[in-house]
A and B are shown apart, each in its own frame.
Chain A
């Protein structure tokens, strides 16, 4: 299958661009980003606050299967144009990283298809690198944990 989600990250830049085409009308794609019940479902997070409007704030919290909070993030909407664009900040709690700025553009392709372009701007190249690496590191970590589980069972 074709890779539908594309990442464009050029060297020496502070930003990266994520693009994706959806078999969804642009209205539904936008809703998925602005209504708590939908965000909670596809992001797999608890939505503590989501004020979908200019100057509104948002706050998400994710827990592991034991109920421990593993991730908290928050931000503010700087621009909000229904079915067209969202400009927002994203900041993770309890980590030493500057907030990042996110520009989301929603585009109608046909009545039933749409495109999302998400540009994320980081404070430094190192910060961008860490964010890019995180899922990679997590994958390694998960593989390691699985291995540990298997080994423990063998004992």
Chain B
């Protein structure tokens, strides 16, 4: 008896919620997957991002700018709905479902967890991904060249080979390279594996140290600094957020840092041969234009950024007493500051 009553109240409450919310969703529009550009009215693009982060924000900006460069402007002929899960995976799921029920024409998912949430929510609406390191291992695509799913876009897989060549040029006598990474980020884990695979070629031994929160960093760093000659920082969201403290400590100890992306160098790492997330986002935006014009995501290869940019932090170099060879300086982007 009691159970029955409480059940009926449960149902009542749910009805109340539905009524409360029903005013908010009235997006009904016909959707033709053939060619999105034929559609009447604005093209609806949903952008979902897992967390606020310098690199991811840059990728988003690049994406929007790429669309604008092809005359798809927000508010004119496209309508961009940007949502951020603020670090919460179930919320990413809700956002993805919102996008599907709001009948978005295209979804841009920035970083792996949002991409997985979007792919879980729809197998029809084209999903553009960016800042996903390995779309195949993340279960989003069948292969890089031909995704075979509704997912395509760009990967931020770092050019580790080039970065290690740079490392050897700048720190020729190094024997041991320390890698600091967050064990809960798949992206970082893949990069650590890459680093391990590639380092014997350069006569380097890898000392990886995993952390689980920014609070672990000072200790992990101290244990690492006594063991290695040079530090490599992957495109790890947590480590990159803590770069100021890492670079300050490393400069104190005269330890050079090679980063995997520009953000780390801006915040005090010595140098990188890295990818620019803005350009990566831009490249993704151009793919989105192809999709709007009727190409099928399942046939569009997932690409990485073609050209890497050498970026050197001059202040850090002088503090470490490292002379940058002139041939390297040519064509390099020189930044200052950090720490």
A binds B: no
Residues of A at the B interface (CB closer than 8 Å) are none
Residues of B at the A interface (CB closer than 8 Å) are none
